[in-house]
Structure 1
């Protein structure tokens, strides 16, 4: 944490997904910062408060910490201030949070939040709480809509859960990426003629199980076509969801490397085939379908 106090414009939130609604809020905050000649600082939390309060809950993150920070910087943020969300942070009264974090730490002159923003112990702090403090000006930004409903991280997860990558990306305003390190697997893909890079989801949200057309960046900046299986591989009784990626026309060893996988569209659901030969035949059809796509 950078403890050097400097007057700033502060946007507060969890910003999971850094979606279109977040981008609109940050664009509004950027204009205030430019007009006032002040830096724009995002105040966010790690772990996500939901992870703190429900550590055994299902993975839900759209953007892990590094990706979230990169997306925030891409929205024109000058600095990302990440607060450790722990028991002390969770117990702070609204007035203490304002004094310690907004005024003392960041020298806030303007505070920008979403119209549904709540904070501090038991979510007792509201926009009205912020507005009562005259040391800074509070700006509540109207939520951005997609269709008839405001864009939210929850709606994006729901779209992903339905396998609707296109709708999820439309609400995000960018193409969703799954980032992870390739681990050693059971090499079943190689035995079937389609060697795959296996990536665990960790605390990242897993979309609807199935087969997807994807693009893959192996860290060299080049996006390559691929076919990916997301799920539990019903033929092999795997319990934890896994991302298995087959890169077309690529033969390098990927173990231990970090891959960036962009799901483009869902091709079909997971299936349990009667024989391995039937599975291989379907995999060949999946790869042919991906190869025919113009991406």
Structure 2
């Protein structure tokens, strides 16, 4: 997959793509339905924005992203995207009228042959452009437009907001139904306080900065090691939260990988949340904590053995 980070720097060889346009936070089934339509009209492209427009207009808002940039790129590549147009959302882009967006970005910059958007798509300064406006611009400027309907699952419309609600409640199977895959957090392994190693449960610590956090607690997880000499897929149990027993206050993800020996500092992991086991607890006695951790791991092993 080729990645382009500005509409003025796209080589002519990347022109002619059929692209789905949107933020694609989560790359859920609704997004995939839009992307699959684009796939039918030419080399598959994605037009997305970084930072997310919501970050631009409300930089101090509560973290809301389902996926970080790395995770989204990995997912888009996995589903066959050939050209990723990751456009900078800044004052220059935000000030463009809908017609300027269509002419300067879609036609002159990216050279798209076809675009696909959701029925609720809005674009241009003040979000004044609609999907129907895009159809009209396409007719005038020479690119095709398809408006994709919203996708409904058995439990309702597949949307990023509905997925966030499921994650907040710890309903990981419901989130999976809308995502089409287990919810994952991806990133580099950081140095922690190494308490897990002292307790007999060494963990790989990862930041969740900028992400919408699933319900704090302990989960059964699959862990994919994406880089380094230990690349592969493993089973594990993970704690997400602020470690109340030790008085921490910055949320993080700590994954204990079953039957694993090795150093993962600096390597990139993808942690899939399979099932919520229990909420965060504060233990006054470390022996009680260790006993509970053994119970958590036993339960996680039973759950994960049924998912293989």
Q: TM-score range by the shorter chain?
A: over 0.9
Distance 1:190 1:114, change over 3 A: same
Structure 2 regions of 5+ residues with no counterpart?
none
Matched positions, count: 290
CA drift of 1:148 comes to 5.3
**2:161 paired with 1:151:** no
Deviations along 1:32-73, whole A, 9 cap, x unmatched?
A: 33xxxxx23211111111111222222222222232223223
Which residue matches 2:104?
A: 100
**2:63 paired with 1:71:** no
CA drift of 1:221 comes to 4.1
The CA distance in 1 between the partners of 2:203 and 2:155, in whole Å, is: 40
**2:48 paired with 1:44:** yes
Which residue matches 1:212?
A: 219
**2:232 paired with 1:225:** no
Superposition pairs of residues 233-272 of structure 1, within 5 angstroms: 233-272=243-282
Superposition pairs of residues 1-295 of structure 1, within 5 angstroms: 1=4, 2-5=9-12, 6-33=15-42, 39-133=43-137, 134=139, 135=141, 136-147=143-154, 149-219=156-226, 220-293=230-303, 294=305, 295=308
SS at match of 2:41: helix
- TM-score, structure 2 normalization: 0.89
The CA distance in 2 between the partners of 1:204 and 1:148, in whole Å, is: 24
The CA distance in 1 between the partners of 2:78 and 2:223, in whole Å, is: 21
* Stretch deviating more after TM superposition (41-50 or 63-72): 63-72
The CA distance in 2 between the partners of 1:169 and 1:72, in whole Å, is: 17
The CA distance in 2 between the partners of 1:246 and 1:9, in whole Å, is: 42
Deviations along 1:68-113, whole A, 9 cap, x unmatched?
A: 2232233333211111111111111111111111111123332210
CA drift of 1:194 comes to 1.3
- TM-score, structure 1 normalization: 0.92
How large is the Cα RMSD of the aligned pairs? Answer: 1.7
